[in-house]
């Protein structure tokens, strides 16, 4: 899997975006395999 195919999630704000568009520190981000997984990650992180 290439980095360009991944999404990254901010562990403080629970916001996510494609790897290439992620503006925060990539070294501190959660690696999310696709957007569907990213949506479920947000739900989990928010306690839903």
Say how many C-beta atoms besides its own lie within 10 A of residue 16's C-beta: 21
pLDDT of residue 44: 97
pLDDT at 4 over 90: no
Q: pTM of the full predicted structure?
A: 0.88
Cα radius of gyration rounded to whole Å, the chain: 10
| Average pLDDT of the segment spanning 25-33 | 97
| Average pLDDT of the segment spanning 16-44 | 97
pLDDT of residue 3: 83
Q: Quick one: DSSP state of residue 4?
A: G
Contact 19/4 with Cβ under 8 angstroms?
yes
pLDDT of residue 35: 96
């Amino acid at each position: 899997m290439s980095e360009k195919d991944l999404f990254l999630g901010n562990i403080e704000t629970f916001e996510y975006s494609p790897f290439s568009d992620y503006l925060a520190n990539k070294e501190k981000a959660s690696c999310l395999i696709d957007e569907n997984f990213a949506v479920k990650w947000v739900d989990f992180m928010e306690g839903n």
